[in-house]
Amino acid sequence: MALAHEVESALGKHDGIVIASSSLCEVPDPGSLRQFEMNVRVDYLREEDAWTLFMEAAASLNIEDLLTVAPRELARLYQLAPADFVTVVRQARFRPVKSLRELYVRLYAEFSLKLLPRGRQGALPLQKQAIA
């Protein structure tokens, strides 16, 4: 919370244009959003948009077995974003995706990451050290 207050104070003194983004879905102090002239929320894909990107990803990966995954099955992955498709297609350069089912499984893996409890974010996990 101290960091948020520090940022708000710095923004209050700034005379120019500030563009900021956050991946935080919940704002600790909704009142802090009032100091901005514009707030934009980018949400997850709608079912039909996810299906369109799914078909485009399949085409870009030269996958032809298009009847192995149904739209309702993909709709279960309700927190897909365009970046998830980009990630899977990019990873396919090193681990080729051979079927539509495999494309779905890889997207499911990306979706599952969003279901993990949010804690401290970072590249390395914290390790508890014994005090001698």
d(CA 105, CA 41): 28
pTM: 0.68
The per-residue pLDDT string of the chain (132 residues; one tens digit each, 9 = 90 and over) reads: 566 678 778 877 888 887 877 766 666 667 777 777 787 878 899 999 999 999 999 999 999 887 789 999 999 999 999 999 999 999 999 999 999 999 999 999 999 998 888 655 555 555 555 554
For residue 44, give the 3-state DSSP assignment: coil
The label of the residue with tokens 């032809």 reads: 64
> Three-state secondary structure along 68-96?
CCCHHHHHCCCCCCHHHHHHHHHHCCCCC
What does DSSP assign to residue 9? H
First-to-last CA distance in the chain?
A: 33
* Amino acid 108: pLDDT: 96
d(CA 129, CA 18): 41
